[in-house]
Structure 1
Amino acid sequence: MILISGATGTIGREVVRQLTDLDVPLRAMSRGGGGPHGVRADFDDPKSLRRAVDGVDALFLLTAPATATSRHDVAMLDAAREAGVAKVVKLSAIGTGSTTADGRVIGAWHLAGERAVRASGAAWTILRPSSFASNVLRFAAEGRLANLTGDGKQGVVDPRDVAAVAVAALTADGHAGRTYTLTGPELLSVPEQAAQLGQVLGRAVGTVEVPLEHLLGSGMDPAAAEEVTRGTAWVRAGHNAVVTDDVERVLGRPPRRFADWVRDNAGLFG
């Protein structure tokens, strides 16, 4: 039995789909608890977490708190430890633990969560994906992509590949103690993503520059905004121009390209 936390998000939903296709027993955890495999639980309700992990063998740990904190990771891991969950696969983020020139840590709350996973007593695997191809859905408006990262390039990764690596780590041996940095096969800036998006859709897709200060005044939780701003500046400075072969090593095939994801999801753009 596998429990997927964050089961209604981009990656969690895809993990649920792929496990369902494999006929693997699962529970899809969310605050609403809907769907055929749904279980209702809240990271801020320890009793609900204990119910969710009862009888579970493996946990896909995905937390996306409104503020930058590892508290939800720790709460879920505490419940999993009490229930004797044997395996934990945590979704983290690329660059976690890197430091800026002034000594600030990139992905500090993910780093704390990773440490908690390693200390949990379970067999663990940590996934550090790069920027998702699907992020263009959030930023596409009026034919433009919001660009916070300038000409900074990233190994943009297909969410389906991230989920497939998670499924492999959850269902197969040989992944314990591994930290995988998951990227696509090519480095792309936001303007380059806009160009490829436009080619597939058959219409021009421009970009609009958004200053990092916009995040701090956007109404986002201040701690979360600071984390995002720090990470975005890191990308803008060229530090996330990283491509790895971890997806291919785990899945036995090359990762999908950004244009592949766009072609498969073109209908979402109208």
Structure 2
Amino acid sequence: MPMNENPKSTQNPTAAARTVLVTGGTGKTGRRVAERLTALGHTARIGSRTAPVPFDWADDTTWDAALDGVGAAYLAYYPDLAFPGAVETVEAFARRAAKAGVGRLVLLSGRGEEAAQAAEEAVAGAGTGWTVVRCAWFSQNFSESFFLEPVLSGELALPTGVAAEPFVDADDIADVAVAALTEDGHDGEVYELTGPRLLTFADVAAEQSAATGREIRFTPVTVEEYRAVLATIGLPGEFADLFTMILDGRNARLADGVRRALGREPRDFADYVRAAAASGVWNV
């Protein structure tokens, strides 16, 4: 059944969602989702290998305990839905969640990735209420993830060419995910989230330079060169292939998911840059 023809669930998962499993609960979006759920009076069960109730995407023997008593779950697959085996794992977990009585699943997905869209279809067909939060590249990758060290070094050396991207703020992602997890009216929706502007990585470097008062430049490199860089910091080389796959212009367009889900405009990248610079995270 096509996703846009999926009938609205007759369940009321909001009422049962007092305990919410947040996979990737210590990551960029998961941490923010957990904080918001707690502030709203829900119990956020952190899904990680080191949590009191351990959860590991790669170990299905951890899934049943993590799902016990859960009314809804936020699915943030690591390392990425485009990686081999991800779709099968997410589908198996979604069906396990449905069997455990979970009322709603909210999937963090990526724009322009065929495997990610296959995972979306798998979650939609698992037998629960569902919402897809399909996202552009995160702004916070420059301050909380693998782009932080390049910013500190003063050089963003990436295999991106001149492609533009509508970077989305992780706080917007978390706000949409929490609304979908805790409110009615989001079942069966695919929210495509972007920021309000398209920026090249050269634009990003220029905005960071202005905010920090020091030069940060963008230098294009080959995929092979970037794969070697990833190896030095312990990240899978497949991330380099993602650059060429989704930064080829296919995602150089804006979407209205934040507005549709929350009734407001998305945060601008410039606001993120100012806040990050003020926090001191880019101080050297």
TM normalised by structure 1 equals 0.86
1:215 Cα offset (Å): 4.6
Matched residue, 2:55: 41
Distance of 1:44 and 1:151 partners within structure 2: 36
Verify the 8 A CA contact 1:149 1:235 in the aligned structure 2.
no
Number of residue pairs matched?
251
Matched residue, 2:281: 268
1:54 Cα offset (Å): 0.8
Distance 1:40 1:182, change over 3 A: same
How do 1:79-228 and structure 2 match up within 5 A? 79-97=96-114, 108=115, 110-137=116-143, 138-139=146-147, 140-216=151-227, 218-219=230-231, 225=237, 228=240
1:225 Cα offset (Å): 4.3
Distance of 1:60 and 1:45 partners within structure 2: 18
Matched residue, 2:9: none
Distance of 2:169 and 2:239 partners within structure 1: 23
1:77 Cα offset (Å): 1.6
Over the aligned positions, Cα root-mean-square deviation in angstroms equals 2.0
1:148 Cα offset (Å): 1.9
Question: Which amino acid is 1:250 matched to?
Answer: A
Verify the 8 A CA contact 2:24 2:47 in the aligned structure 1.
yes
Matched residue, 2:49: 31
Distance of 2:225 and 2:118 partners within structure 1: 27
1:46 Cα offset (Å): 2.6
Over 6 Å off, 4+ runs: none
Matched residue, 1:239: 250
Matched residue, 1:69: 85
Identity of aligned residues (%): 38
Structure 2: any 5+ residue segments left out of the alignment? 1-18
Verify the 8 A CA contact 2:159 2:240 in the aligned structure 1.
no
Structure 1 window deviating more from structure 2 (141-150 vs 125-134): it is 141-150
Distance of 1:239 and 1:132 partners within structure 2: 17
Matched residue, 2:267: 256
1:219 Cα offset (Å): 4.3
Distance of 1:95 and 1:157 partners within structure 2: 15
Structure 1 residue matching 2:133: 3-state secondary structure = strand
Structure 1 residue matching 2:199: 3-state secondary structure = coil
Structure 1: any 5+ residue segments left out of the alignment? 98-107
TM normalised by structure 2 equals 0.82
1:227 Cα offset (Å): 7.0
1:59 aligns with 2:70: no
Distance of 1:249 and 1:41 partners within structure 2: 32
Distance 1:115 1:236, change over 3 A: closer
Distance of 2:227 and 2:216 partners within structure 1: 27
Distance 1:115 1:227, change over 3 A: farther
Matched residue, 1:19: 37
1:135 Cα offset (Å): 1.7
Distance of 2:209 and 2:239 partners within structure 1: 31
1:11 Cα offset (Å): 0.8
1:263 Cα offset (Å): 1.6
Distance 1:69 1:225, change over 3 A: farther
Structure 2 residue matching 1:92: 3-state secondary structure = strand
Distance of 1:18 and 1:57 partners within structure 2: 16
1:234 Cα offset (Å): 4.2
Verify the 8 A CA contact 1:59 1:88 in the aligned structure 2.
yes
1:72 Cα offset (Å): 3.0
Matched residue, 1:100: none
